[in-house]
Every structure is written in C-alpha cells, then in structure tokens.
Structure 1
C-alpha cells in the first residue's frame, strides 16, 4: 500500500504534531486517554489511507467539499461531542435543525464508510471518519498534517434541540463565543485559532445580511461600521443581484479562498471579516492581540491550529463500551 505522505516535509509535520499532542492526551480525561494514534493498526490498517483517498477523490470533482467537511466537524463536535450525531438523518435530528441546513460533505463520509465496511466491517466509527476527513481536507488545502488519535465510538442520540445552545451564531459577541468555547474545554486562543477555518469555504448571503439594511426604495445600505466599505460593496454586488440569498454564496476569504493559510487574519486587520463574529475578534483586546500575532506569522498559525484542532477533535468522545459502531453513518444501528 502506498504511503499516505506525499513528501518528507509532510511526514515531519505529522510526527511533530503527534509529539505535541502526546502530553495533551494524558491531561484531558481518562476517556481521551483511551484513544490512540494506531487504534486501527491491526483491525483495519488501511483505515486512514482509505479516508484520505476518499476525500481527495471527492475534492477532485468538487473542490468546495473540502471546506464543507471542515465545517461539518465543527457542527458535530460542538453538539454532544465528536460522536457523528450530526450525520444521522431523520425528523428532529441535529441534521434537521435549520442551523445545520446548509451543511455539506455528508456523501463523502458515507462513501468512506461504505469502503471501510467492505474491508473492515463493523470496525471503524463514523465519528473517527468525520474527524479524519476534516483533518485530510485541511491537508488537501495546503494546511498542516495533524496526527489524530482514533478510537471514538458513534453516538446513539441525535436531537435537534441540542443544536442551537451549542453552535456559534454569526451575530454572537466575543463574550458569548468565549463562553461556548469554554464549555467545551477550549480557550480564548482556541477560539481565535479555530476561527481561522474561515480562511476557506463559502457562506450564503443570508448568513451576513444583518450587516446591511434596505432603504425605502429597496436598496441595500451598509449599517456595520466595522466592515471595509469597498469590501461591503463587493458583497452587495454579489448578493443583491440574486433572487434568492439563501442559495447565492460568497467566499469566506476574498483573497485566497482555496488555500489554508493565515490570510483570514490579514483580512480581519483590513476590516474584511465576512461575519459579525469575525469582525468582533478585532473589537476585543483578548482576541485582537492574538489576531495580530497570527496575521503576521503564518507558521505560528499553523502550529497553533494543529494544537487547537486536536483539542476540538476529542470533545466529549465516546470510547470503550459507550455508543456503537454504526453500519451506516446516516442512521443508528
């Protein structure tokens, strides 16, 4: 089987992130300590390779799927932990909540699961596949190779009522965001670093239209002074011409939307944050200082991303006899 690393540099980055995370595993919780970096070493040795290939194959025909996979793992881990509960179809499930209506990438996870069920039936959890796929999406976009411990099990409960109290809305204040992150065991630095996911992906016009208002003649006007005027006009030109702002999308990062880099933070310094939650990071001393550091040091961002992403990937994990290993990611057994 071919090596999952395409270069010596990638292999070095992977080993470095693994060494960084080892002490973190021992400090977080006993459940997390049950995860391991070679969990499928004997039961399904090609598991991570299969997930990586599935992600690469899907992105070759639809590059936008990479950003969708990254967003998908956030919406899973922040609600009931990283247990793949967001993947479950059905009335009143997390996936049915309007807050998750624009999520994508589900087919990629299911495709990887189908292949794994052929080679290793009943072995690899959807929760692990989802985290690995998001990790691989970042790598495919030019980001760091992150060593991810595996051994998560899938949740058996998925309830829409759990979504809104746990995900970040686009009009949240810094205090609200800090509180939600703290409830997940994540710091202020983690908040700013993980917000860097907005360096890729796209958003529907209706997710940031509160930054504008309509005048009596029906024309849009900027009401958010924290937004650069020329950037605001670009957004207006893109969205006001659409008959349906729920289907028109704009890139989260207007400069390098298909590259995982620190351009997001440079955009914030230029007052070009797409969401109010982005701009808010520049209005609070606790977060602005971190934004400035990351905007001026891409290597620092990538190193901190590795640490923060790994911390997020172990929120509320189920291990041992908890949960189950689903046969299909879209339904509980």
Structure 2
C-alpha cells in the first residue's frame, strides 16, 4: 500500500492503525522450515530469527533480497551556532560530494554487501533554526522533509538501509532522545565527530536550554521533531513510514539514525516493528536508546561513523541468514536421519 496522505504532524500517530503488520503465517512457515533444515533446531541462533523476521515482513516463507536500497539523508543545523561541533557546516556538502564520488566508507560497505546507495541532500544552504532560540523547523518544513524521505523509498526494494550526514546532528539526536525518553541530558550526549570535554559541555548546555525553551511540547513526539530535529531526521521518519506501508524491512544505522526513528516509537510503539537495529555504536547514548525502543543490535563493532555504515555492514548478516534459510537442505532432501 502507499503511505496515506499526511497533512499535519498530528496525522502521523493515527497511521499506526492503518499500516501493515507482520504476516504471522509467513513467519510460522519460515520457522517450520528452519526446524526442518539439516541442523539442530536453534543452532544458527539469531540468523534463524532474522530469517523469520524477513519472512514476516515480506509476506513469504522464503524471502530473498533482490534489491537492497540504502538512503543517506544530509542536512545542516542551526544549533551549530552554539559551538557544538568542531567542524564547519561546509563539511556536510563536502561529504555528500564524497558519497557521490564513491569515496566514503558507506560506498565501500554498500558495494561489498550489495546495496544501491542514494544520497539526498536537504537544503544544505539553508540550515534549520537554532533550537535554543526557537523551533528548528516549522510544521510545513518538517512535513516537507518527511515527504522527501518517504518519496525516496523504492517500493520495489526488499530491504531498506537508512543513514545520515550532517554536522551538528549528534547534538540534535541527543536532544530528541532526551525529549522523548527523559533522563539526564549528559547520559544522551557524546563526542559525535570528536568533540572534546569542553565541546561536550557546550552540547549539554545547548540541549538543556533547548529542552527548557520547548518544554511545553514534551509528550508530543512529532512536535518535538519539528522543534528540535533536523531535515534529515524528519526524512528518516518519512522513509520508515513509507517502508512500513510497502512492507519493506528497515535496517537502522547508529545513534543519530535511531534517535530520528525513535521519535516514531515515542508516538506509537508499533511504528518500528519492521525495523532492525543494524548495530550499537560507540556513541554513549545509543545503547541506552536501543534499550528504550526494545531493539537488540545485529552487530557491535565499536563503530560511530554514521553514513549508514553500520546498517550496510549488518546487511551482510541478513543476507547470510537468508542464504542459510533458503539454500540449506531439509533432513528429507538430504537423506539425513532425525533424532
């Protein structure tokens, strides 16, 4: 199905009742196949669970990945005026050019794991507002970015990988996580691209001031997205929703990507049922965030690059799970006796 029209941020929470759910029959058939393969039941561990997850969302007992789409959304942030990042915002556009030229880590990981990469730059010459001074985006701007994300999803894809690029967006991610899930700001805030102790202190101070300014919005996650988020965060939300409408499983990347998607979880816990956490990053808030949204990461490789790199690496594990699921012989086919 196509994603239903969204004319206001308030429309989003109600979509949870309209979007597809996991196909229990396909999952059960996949589980039965796993138990008939030439191995002790459960011996492939989480590979079996991943195969069943893919079956449930693709609606077939033997899912395959013919097309994996990777989307990297890029945006710039007004909060950088508060000195929260050691790099200038020009780096965002420079890295987008690097992605397009094939020179980044995400290019290599997509190539080796079989994903088609699309990079979407979102008004890089027009940063969002400084959320310590006012809202980062108006509702119209937020919805526009959300629809750009939704429109970028290929409904013919079998799996979607999501990532981001944006100087200052680790501050945005920490702000969204703190606003949606509570707790001390310091527990959500890390070095990002390499902030030192003083830089982290500036990030914490900026987030605390932003939360105070927008305190009336706490409890309304989509309003929080507009007030504290960025265009790439809104686009990630749009892509997650469009993928759900098309029954496409999603691999989330690290802290920043997960914090964006977690806004949807805060609005309705069902929104991320079709999502896997590709990895847990070394950014301090990510493990805490995954616990809050009840996601166990596929990998733990101490990565903190962003770009969708952890999701692209995890794609190899998903492909391995399906190769075993679809390619192994059953006991009957192999003539192997069962206990």
Q: For this structure pair, what is the TM-score category when the shorter chain's length is used for normalisation?
A: under 0.3
Higher strand share: 2
TM-score w.r.t. length of structure 1? 0.28
